[in-house]
Structure 1
Amino acid sequence: MIGYLAGKLKHKSPDYLIIDVNGVGYCVHVPLSTFYDMPAVGETISLNIHTHVREDMLQLYGFRTLAEKEMFLHLIAINGVGPRLAIGILSGITPDGLRAAVLQQDHRRLKNIPGIGKKIAERIALELRDKLKIKPAKEELVAPPAGTQDVFSDAYSALLNLGYRASEIDKSLKRVQQKLGDTPALESLLKEALRVLA
């Protein structure tokens, strides 16, 4: 069971990273909050890892903080919340934000996260209420340098994977393009698009 990885960042995209550890490339799925905090390709990184094993596959999920990993583990313990949905949830809300929404039983805030319907929102609020009465962990997001990839198509793909509709994504990206120009950093583009979509 892999619980931690440190190595060289070989590839980064909003959905996953590839980390070179002594010549072996590990594909690690990450939430957008972790993606935002990644340095340039070629730099050394370290991530807290959850190894998810199923009959037909083994997947790694990475987090820049233990608070994110712990929240991910709480989420996947809920019936109806798998790893992909948990990653989507953590891409749309910080662990502290989720904790606050659960403790206040703010179902509306939970339903605003892509992929979360009324039933799942109520289940999350109910099942996490007692588990999350713990001290908040303060976190900061740091945007990495801009990449050279086609940022708008990468942003479109990332937002689609998070559960937003194509028409919503198109409108938000057009608005963000007017504000940030034609060559924004992918991280800035995604942050601004999520702000517009919220």
Structure 2
Amino acid sequence: MIGRLRGTLIQKSPPWLMVEVGGVGYELEAPMSTVYELPELGREVTLFTHYAVKEDSVALYGFLTERERRLFRDVQKVTGIGAKIALAILSGVSVDDFARLVAMSDITALTRIPGIGKKTAERIVVELRDRAAELGGVGGPVAKGQPIPADPPSEALIALQQLGYKPAEAAKMVKDAFEAGDTAEAIIRKALKAALRT
């Protein structure tokens, strides 16, 4: 089991990251909540990890905080939710906001997260409401920074599509959110916030 990695951030193509540890490059998939806070390429980063083994694949997921990793694991206990939707949840709302939406049984807001339909949102509320106060557990960030990608709009477009948005929908979200000087993370953050408001 790989529980934590500390090494050099050498690649970042949301939601994919690569961290070099002792000469070995570990490829991880991470939620946008983690990507937003990553340092620049070439800097040291520490990530909490979740190692998943399936019949036909092995995957490694990375999180800046233990709270994110715990929520990622907790929501997958809900019937019908896998890693992709768990990442979309963390990319669309903070751990605290998600816990609040569950506690308030806010089905409408939950369905604005990519991949979550009404039935899934209802299952989330039913299965997690009693534990809303403890969702995500405790813990703080272990690294901070401000990355500067080469082509922010294109990077944001790809990331939104990987989060489950259709190409045309993702393109419109990027177009509406983009302002000169924005990083990809800023574009994605604004696009996701706007999607949750509509």
What is the identity percentage for the equivalent residue pairs of Structure 1 and Structure 2? 38
**Structure 1: 5+ residue stretches without partners:** none
Partner of 2:50: 50
Partner of 1:159: 160
TM-score normalized by the length of structure 2: 0.90
CA contact (8 A) 2:112 2:195 kept: no
Paired residue for 1:147, among 138, 143, 149?
149
Number of equivalences: 194
TM-score normalized by the length of structure 1: 0.90
CA contact (8 A) 2:80 2:120 kept: yes
Partner SS, residue 129 of structure 1: helix
The letter of the residue matching 1:159 is L
* Structure with higher RCO (Cα < 8 A, 6+ apart): 2
CA distance in 2, matches of 1:94, 1:138: 14
CA distance in 2, matches of 1:143, 1:7: 15
CA contact (8 A) 1:146 1:184 kept: no
Partner of 1:170: 171
Q: CA RMSD in A?
A: 2.0
Partner SS, residue 130 of structure 1: helix
CA distance in 1, matches of 2:4, 2:155: 27
* Deviation digits for residues 30-66 of structure 1 (CA, Å, limit 9, x no counterpart): 0000000101111000011111111221111111111
CA distance in 1, matches of 2:193, 2:93: 11
How much has 1:151 moved relative to structure 2?
1.8
Partner SS, residue 132 of structure 2: coil
The letter of the residue matching 2:117 is G
How much has 1:192 moved relative to structure 2?
1.9
1:189 aligns with 2:187: yes
CA contact (8 A) 1:52 1:60 kept: yes
Runs of at least 4 residues off by over 4 Å: 135-143
Alignment of 1:1-198 (within 5 A): 1-134=1-134, 144-148=146-150, 150-177=151-178, 180-181=179-180, 183-198=181-196
How much has 1:163 moved relative to structure 2?
2.1
CA contact (8 A) 1:143 1:187 kept: no
The letter of the residue matching 1:156 is L
How much has 1:143 moved relative to structure 2?
6.0
**Structure 2: 5+ residue stretches without partners:** none
Q: 1:21 to 1:138 in 2, by over 3 A?
A: closer
How much has 1:127 moved relative to structure 2?
0.8
CA distance in 2, matches of 1:105, 1:113: 15
* Deviation digits for residues 110-143 of structure 1 (CA, Å, limit 9, x no counterpart): 1111110011001111111123333875868966
Task: Identify the range of structure 1 (128-137 vs 167-176) with the bigger mean alpha-carbon deviation.
Answer: 128-137
